Amino acid sequence: MLGLAGTLWDHPDIYPVHTLRVVEHGGHVICAAVHTPPFNLVIAQPVIESAIPALADAVIGSDVALPGVTGATPKPTRLREHGPLVRE
């Protein structure tokens, strides 16, 4: 995920459409994700496991169509447990 974030910073024209999401608690980022269509949502390792439902709610509440979810296991599975993230 850091490599992708670096690419977005250094070469924003490569992924002109992208979404960055963070979950904060107590003024600290506890989870982050990035989506560069048409690729999967990429989830960083959360600091606190309870950040996953908040991230899922943000993704489900958006109009973004995801082809899939990528991240260190079991995070993608836990994210999918909170609702249908992948839309066709």
What are 58-73's pLDDT values in tens digits? 888 787 778 888 887 6
**Rg of the chain in Å (alpha carbons):** 13
Round to whole Å and give the CA distance between 88 and 70. 17
Encoding tokens for residue 60?
Answer: 């489900």
What are 21-54's pLDDT values in tens digits? 999 999 999 989 999 989 999 988 888 878 888 8
Q: The whole model's pTM is what?
A: 0.74
Confidence at 79, pLDDT banded by 50, 70, 90: low
Confidence (pLDDT) at 10? 96
